[in-house]
Amino acid sequence: MSPFVKFYLFSYNFLQASAWAISLLIILNSFLSNKTIISAYASAGFLISLFQTAAILEVLHGAIGIVPSGFLSPLMQWSGRTHFILAIVGQIKEVQDSPWLSITLVAWCIGEMIRYPHYAFTCLGRCPYWLTYLRYTGFIVIYPTGLVGELLIMYKALPYVKERNLYANFFSVFPFSYYDFLWAVLLVYPFLWLKLYLQLFKQRKSKLGKSKKLHGKRKRM
């Protein structure tokens, strides 16, 4: 990997980590100020939507081969989250004050505050073991929390999608409506998510083992 690519990837991941950390601070401040947990989207929704959309770059990174993830896995993760935050939450005000949305966004923020610094330091070859451990352990609780929240919000959105015939113009060329599409997403989403979740468990064993050996060698040196 060239020094320029390393610098670019470190800068990108550092920027993303900072944005998600700021989002979490804004949400927590909102919780304390308003004495309620339903204000996460109102306070940090724009920033989260912006940087989640910008994460399309990670699909490009995989597609051109500057990271080893490939493009399919990042594409699945990006499209699922971006559809959720822009097409559903951003368009249906009735779900924006749900406690489950706040829980989901907090889970997203915590997960990304771990993931992006891990990527940033890994591309420099200087990732501390504790951060690697956190990356491949924290997801065990954080990811299912986010999944449950996303599914509940999508389910809550269904009546409003049907009532307003949301995205009717776009779906007019298809033999099904967006309401039908969203039902299909609800049914398929947990299985696609489970594939990614189990993949992380496989990575956990190898990554933690390699990281522990590497840091053991550095200590002996």
Report pLDDT digits (tens) over 122-136: 988 889 999 999 999
**Cβ pair 58, 115 in contact under 8 A:** no
Q: Report the helix count and the strand count for the chain, using DSSP H and E.
A: 8, 0
- C-alpha 59/C-alpha 71 separation (Å) is 5
Q: Report the alpha-carbon distance of residue 145 to residue 74 in Å, rounded.
A: 20
Amino acid at 117: P
- By annotation, the residues acting in catalysis are 143, 150
What is the spatial distance between Cα 30 and Cα 92, in angstroms, rounded to a whole number?
Answer: 21
pLDDT tens, residue by residue, 12-61: 999 999 999 999 999 999 999 989 999 999 999 999 999 999 999 999 99
Give residue limits of the domains in the chain: 3-129+137-206
With a cut of 70, which residues of the chain have pLDDT below it? Answer: 211-221
CB of 84 within 8 A of CB of 146?
Answer: no
Q: How far apart, in whole angstroms, are the C-alpha atoms of residue 208 and residue 139?
A: 14
CA dihedral (5, 78, 49, 11) in degrees, to 10, reads -10
Instruction: Provide the 8-state DSSP code for 17.
Output: H
